[in-house]
Amino acid sequence: MGNQVVILVGTFVLVVTGLLLGYVLSQLVLGYLPFSLLTLLGTISLVLIFGTLYYVLFWQLRREQLQPNSPIATSEVDEEVTGNYLKNRLIARLSGDVAAAERLIEQAKQNYPGMPENWYCERVLDDLDREDR
């Protein structure tokens, strides 16, 4: 909600500033507004305000697009995908015996406590590879 307010207010101010800048420049070009130090400083300030708002607005939009859409962090999603892949590999290695895979993972957890979940699947797969050799 906060980002949307920043974007809406920034867009509104950007449009108003752009209109003012366009009006001042058109009056200067048409000769209805005399060129003086005041008009020069006013035009420069409008250009700076317009440029700053434009930069901040699109920086905010880009930052919003780069944020992950879900509350789960990307690394957690990667770990979950890797864990599922390893668990599926283990089950396939055991010819679809899910119960045996769970037993082997639990046994590895008892033998090596405190390790990440993916590590146990890798350990069981490595043990099975060693047994096959």
Average confidence (pLDDT) per 10 residues, the chain, 133 residues: 72 80 82 81 82 78 66 60 80 87 90 86 88 80
Give the pLDDT score at 59: 76
What is the distance between the alpha carbons of residues 71 and 62, in angstroms, rounded to a whole number? 18
Give the pLDDT score at 68: 60
Q: 12-41, pLDDT tens digit by residue?
A: 877 887 788 888 888 888 888 787 888 788
Token pair for 25: 């420049």
Give me the phi and psi of 113, to 5 degrees please. Answer: -70, 150
pTM above 0.85, yes or no: no
Give me the phi and psi of 46, to 5 degrees please. Answer: -65, -40
5: amino acid identity, one letter? V
Quick one: the chain helix, strand, coil %, rounded to 5? Answer: 80, 0, 20
Give the pLDDT score at 78: 64
